[in-house]
Amino acid sequence: MTAPRTPRIPENLDVTIVDHPLAAARLSTMRDTRTDNASFRASLRELTLMLIYEASRNLTIRLEPIQTPVSPTLAIRLANPPLLVPVLRAGLGMADQAHALIPEAQMGFVGLARDEETLQPTPYMESLPDSLAGRPVYVLDPMLATGGSMVHTIEMLTGRGATDVTAICALAAPEGLATLAAANLPVRVVTASVDERLNEIGYIVPGLGDAGDRQFGAV
């Protein structure tokens, strides 16, 4: 008897896959071992633009009367800009681009390093506003692998009152999506791809390797 296959996208998790050819082209550059650190960072920045553009489609707006050179009209402003939270190190490569698109946004920071033996996240930094009640939060991390780092990050956020979290990832593994769904957290996921699986050492397959090392060099 064969084991039941893990569904790639859990039914109870809101997952948006940005499967645009330009997003796929940037992701392909990031996957390619021939891509150097600088080109990897440039492709991640460009992919982040597309992910944020899609993620922010449903942000609430407010209207403000303004005057064009021709007539009065109503300007559209963001009513409640999201808090941007890059997860160090790898999420740093998404931070500038996300901030350029949403300049009104505030930014918080979380630092996590995954123990490569246990695959558990070890926190080393948390710089967040005391209260996140009523504020949308965008977590920026290129990789959702086992999901442990994302669950840990979202629990930091919900502990401060967040109820509306978007995980913005270049890549997700089915196992990470299943972990997020099982954690029953107020999160939706926006990603450019749901890859095949994790390998025996917790890397996404086909994936792109270690997103921190690919940007900044091995530590």
Ligand X SMILES: O=P(O)(O)OC[C@H]1O[C@H](OP(=O)(O)OP(=O)(O)O)[C@H](O)[C@@H]1O
Ligand Y SMILES: O=c1cc[nH]c(=O)[nH]1
Site residues (vs ligand Y, CB under 6 A): 90, 143, 145, 202-204, 207, 210-212
The single residue among 26, 31, 89, 135 that binds ligand X, judged by CB under 6 A, is: 89
**Residue 56 found at the interface with ligand X (CB under 6 A):** no
- Dihedral class, residue 184 (left if φ above 0, else alpha if ψ from -120 to 50, else beta): left
Alpha-carbon distances of 111 from 60, 119, 133, 201, 206, rounded to whole Å: 29, 15, 22, 21, 25
* Residues 153-182, interacting with ligand X (CB under 6 A): 176
**Is there a binding annotation on residue 143?**
yes
Pick from 118, 117, 157: nearest CA to 140: 157
Residue closer to Mg ion (CB basis): 147 or 212: 212
**Residue 183 found at the interface with ligand X (CB under 6 A):** no
Interface region with ligand X, contact rule CB under 6 A, candidates 24-32, 57-65, 180-188, 206-214: 206-214
Q: Which alpha helices (DSSP H) does 56-164 contain, by range?
A: 92-101, 148-158
Point out which residues pair with 127 in neighbouring strands: 109
**Is there a binding annotation on residue 209?**
yes
Q: Which tokens is 131 given? A: 């209260």
**Residue 212 found at the interface with Mg ion (CB under 5 A):** yes
**Site residues for Mg ion per CB under 5 A:** 210, 212
